[in-house]
Amino acid sequence: MPLLIAGSIATDHLMSFPGKFSDSLVVDQLDKLSVSFLVEDLEVRRGGCAANICFGLGNLGLRPVLVGAVGEDFADYRAWLERHNVDCDAVHVSPTRHTARFVCTNDSSMAQIASFYPGAMSESREIELKPIVDRVGEPDYVLIGPDDPQGMLRHTEECRQRGYRFVADPSQQLAFGDGDLIRQLVDGAEILFSNEYEAALITQKTGWTREEVLARVGTWVVTLGAEGVRIDSQGAPSIVVAAVPEIEKVEPTGVGDAFRAGFLAALDWGLTSERAAQLGCLLAVYVVEQVGTQEYTLSGDAFLERCTATYGSEATADFAPHLKTLRP
């Protein structure tokens, strides 16, 4: 069954600052903040959470359906995604707005300062899921990632009404959304994705305890950075999966998106949540080792060698039959 991935589609402008932001910030003067950083380089890359996740899924041999809104400047990006096995026929093209843009600066400690121009993304609220499902078939999951808030609410409500299993991944919208928005996006999700900081935002803004969140979702997957991943479900012990050691930490943008791609791919293959987290971590490490969210390539032999080194031969045996499309 297909995977529908709804969310942002954007161009990333990524810059690196050689120092630490914290050295230039005066805590008791933040209300008067006016500071600039001299960066060393600028990389312009393809991005957006939904597109990044689709790219990862396509590289693992699946054919995800991308759901989002773009501008007429999307043509080259569309061709790139289609070459990587992404179905882009459901993408809405705005006649008046540009494709969204993410501008991000990382410092030497991997702290980030970023801004996001939504552009055409605001038109995602005009997209209905049913015509897409009529074309591609009943979805295994609909992931609802960070997007125009009204679009996220529309997709979530449609999933509830039509009985589509959905994955809540509000991510960056948690910082701006109020408790009512977040409660509507989370309640009833088959899977909830967040990092550790976002998990705290969810409980703080919704007023729900961790246990109350777990009572409303099937599984809560919390990424822990270098500490790996924790998988929580109501009434079950937590599952903790270690991260894959990186060869060189270069740039963290898009790591979470790659993790989600690996996680969903493994579930689509019928594997356990633990295996899903392991595959997610394996794919994520390829992103952190370079600049850009869609610049990695996968070699089947090297990928499985890293799997064996971190998770053992049994995990490798579970993944190998599904990775035959990768080059050796």
Active site residues: 257
* 16 touches 114 (CB < 8 A): no
What does 259-288 look like in DSSP terms, one character per residue? HHHHHHHHHHTT--HHHHHHHHHHHHHHHH
Q: What is the CA radius of gyration of the chain?
A: 19
- A 10 A CB-CB count for 163 gives 8
Contacts of 157 (CB under 8 A, 6+ apart): 184
Q: Find out whether 66 and 87 touch, Cβ atoms under 8 Å.
A: yes
DSSP notation for 59-125: HTT---EEE-EE-GGGHHHHHHHHHTT-B-TT-EE-SSSPPEEEEEEE-TT--EEEEEE-GGGGGGG
In Å, what is the CA distance from 248 to each residue of 275, 279, 288, 296?
24, 19, 8, 14
